[in-house]
């Protein structure tokens, strides 16, 4: 990766505006990086170098005319194939192109395009975002670049998003998070991830999985990159530079960090718990006020998830209504769950929603005495993708990897993950920070303050072995 691409997004954006670097040069380097690693990593379902060059040239032309369209102008970006983008067909991880109505830009992509960001292509994903390992029987799964020998999970459902960051073909990746799908791939690939409060950003123009919990989100190489990009795209902020200046003075000292109860730590494998606890302790030594924090409502949220949850029911309803012909070709891993959802009595669905709403109301009060609650993002190391990808063993493992992630969605909270180390297998480990719903800006400022103490993923983890020149 060149020196230009290796800098924080804010620095790159400033250099673009000052004419010190060209968007076309960044795009060409991103294209070179992808071509170097694409055969092994398979980040993209639709790789679009010609489109990227057009985007970059438009950004450069605007800069040359003295026009700044937005903070992300000229920044190489990847988009999960759940987002509609008028320049691309939408497949949502399925083997067939979705109808044209799913190719109209929603507000998030429209903002990205108005800012003249450089869109590199659409990344691979789990079919209709229903699953956490990255498995897709139609296309296969991208490879986690931290294991040279074995094909391991990159996390899902935004399975190609984190990989695109690792290979250097994008500096910012768009994903969605319904139960884990931004934070999980971010953590498993050694990147930062941001799950916003549901409703903060519109889901229009995004193929739905669960209208009750779908949330657009961002993956980036650092929390600072995620913060800058969040502010650039957020309707209430709209300027990455101003937001970064505002939070730059936020110190970790005095911040109240709740250390999650044992339920979030028991079962950690390969030294994950010790690595995350070490990062939390480092924040304490830097002045953060550490205290035990209870979030018992997480158990209820996870219980509902294990009973079948909400997503399968709402996905089946969407498919029956909008894409009935797709049911015949649905991934065999997911077909049984969607079949059961079709016969589930309505009172069961309503009862599950009511239980989660009650738990969410109680969970909000847990943040009266803490600013965030800290825990491992994922308790388990990324799985081998060469094993059996169906049956109860597979789904038990899937439930295990989302154990600490589901509660933030089900309890209407916001959450971020930061890379903090490598486990005993040499695979990335994430620290998750959860905050009260609506406290997105506060959460992001705390995440950036923590990163200034702990260092970025590059600082702590180095470069993925499969992405070294």
Marked catalytic residue, from 71, 158, 181, 212? 181
Say whether pLDDT at 398 is over 90.
no
Strand arrangement, sheet containing 118-123: 44-47, 118-123, 76-80, 172-176, 216-220, 192-195, 414-422, 428-435, 372-376, 256-260, 289-293
- Asked if residue 1 is part of any domain, the answer here is no
Percent of the chain with pLDDT over 70: 98
Structural domain includes residue 3:
no
Q: Which pLDDT belongs to residue 423?
A: 98
Q: Give the model confidence (pLDDT) of 10-68 as tens digits.
A: 999 999 999 999 999 999 999 999 999 988 999 999 999 999 999 999 999 999 999 99
Which CATH number belongs to the domain containing residue 16 in this structure?
3.90.1300.10
Note whether residue 235 is domain-resident.
yes
Residue 393 has pLDDT above 80, yes or no: no
pLDDT tens digits, one per residue of 117-158? 999 999 999 999 999 999 999 999 999 999 999 999 999 999
**Looking at the domain assignment, is residue 112 inside a domain?**
yes
Residue 389's pLDDT is 67
pLDDT above 90: percentage of residues in the chain: 95
Residue 365 domain-assigned? Answer: yes
Check: CB of residue 280 under 8 Å from CB of residue 291. no
The predicted structure's pLDDT at residue 207: 98
183-235 pLDDT, tens digit each: 999 999 999 999 999 999 999 999 999 999 999 999 999 999 999 999 999 99
Q: Is residue 18 part of a domain?
A: yes
Mean pLDDT of the residues in the chain: 96
Give a yes or no: residue 304 inside a domain.
yes
Answer whether residue 4 is part of any domain: no
pLDDT in tens, 333-354: 999 999 999 999 999 999 999 9
Query: Which residue is catalytic, options 71, 157, 159, 311?
Result: 157
Does residue 181 carry a catalytic annotation? yes
**At residue 73, does pLDDT exceed 90?**
yes
Residue of 80, 113, 195, 436 marked catalytic: 80
Provide the residue range defining the domain that includes 260.
9-467
How many domains, the chain?
1
Report the alpha-carbon distance of residue 21 to residue 246 in Å, rounded: 26
Is the pLDDT confidence value at 2 over 60? no
User: What is the predicted pLDDT for the residue at 238?
Assistant: 81
Task: Answer yes or no: pTM beyond 0.75.
Answer: yes
Q: Report the pLDDT value the prediction gives residue 52, as an integer from 0 to 100.
A: 98
- Catalytic, 157? Answer yes
């Amino acid at each position: 990766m060149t020196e230009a691409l290796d800098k924080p997004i804010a620095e790159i954006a400033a250099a673009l505006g000052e004419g010190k670097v060209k968007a076309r040069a960044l795009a060409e380097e991103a294209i070179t990086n992808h071509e170097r690693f694409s055969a092994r990593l398979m980040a993209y379902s639709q790789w679009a170098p010609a489109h990227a060059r057009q985007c970059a040239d438009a950004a450069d032309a605007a800069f040359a005319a003295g026009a700044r369209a937005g903070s992300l102008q000229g920044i190489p970006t990847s988009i999960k194939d759940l987002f509609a983008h008028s320049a691309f067909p939408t497949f949502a991880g399925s083997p067939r192109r979705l109808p044209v109505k799913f190719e109209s830009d929603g507000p998030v992509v429209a903002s990205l395009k108005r800012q003249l960001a450089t869109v590199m292509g659409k990344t691979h994903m789990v079919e209709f975002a229903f699953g956490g390992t990255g498995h897709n029987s139609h296309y296969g799964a991208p490879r986690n670049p931290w294991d040279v020998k074995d094909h391991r999970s990159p996390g899902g459902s935004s399975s190609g998003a984190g990989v695109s960051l690792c290979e250097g073909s994008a500096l910012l990746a768009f994903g969605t998070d319904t139960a884990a799908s931004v934070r999980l791939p971010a953590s498993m690939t050694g990147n930062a991830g941001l799950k916003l409060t549901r409703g903060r950003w519109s889901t229009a123009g995004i193929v739905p999985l669960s209208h009750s919990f779908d949330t657009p989100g961002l993956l980036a190489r650092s929390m600072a990159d995620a913060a800058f990009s969040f502010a650039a795209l957020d309707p209430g902020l709209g300027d990455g530079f101003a937001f970064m200046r505002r939070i730059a003075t936020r110190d970790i000292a005095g911040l109240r960090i709740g250390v999650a109860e044992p339920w979030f730590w028991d079962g950690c494998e390969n030294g994950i718990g010790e690595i995350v606890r070490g990062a939390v302790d480092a924040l304490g030594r830097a002045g953060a006020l550490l205290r035990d924090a209870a979030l018992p409502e997480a158990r209820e949220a996870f219980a509902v998830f294990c009973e079948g949850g909400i997503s399968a029911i709402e996905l089946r309803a969407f498919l029956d209504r909008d894409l009935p012909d797709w049911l015949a070709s649905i991934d065999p891993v997911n077909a049984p769950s969607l079949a059961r959802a079709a016969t589930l009595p309505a009172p069961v669905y309503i009862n599950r929603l009511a239980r989660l709403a009650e738990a969410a109301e109680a969970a909000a009060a847990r943040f009266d005495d803490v600013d965030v609650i800290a825990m491992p993002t994922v308790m388990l190391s990324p799985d081998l993708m060469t094993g059996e990808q169906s049956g109860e063993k597979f789904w038990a493992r899937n439930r295990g990897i989302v154990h600490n992630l589901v509660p933030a969605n089900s309890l209407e909270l916001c959450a971020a993950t930061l890379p903090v180390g490598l486990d005993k297998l040499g695979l990335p480990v994430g620290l998750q920070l959860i905050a009260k719903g609506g406290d997105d800006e506060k959460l992001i400022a705390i995440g950036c303050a923590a990163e200034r103490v702990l260092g970025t993923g590059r600082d702590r983890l180095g470069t993925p072995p499969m992405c070294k020149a």
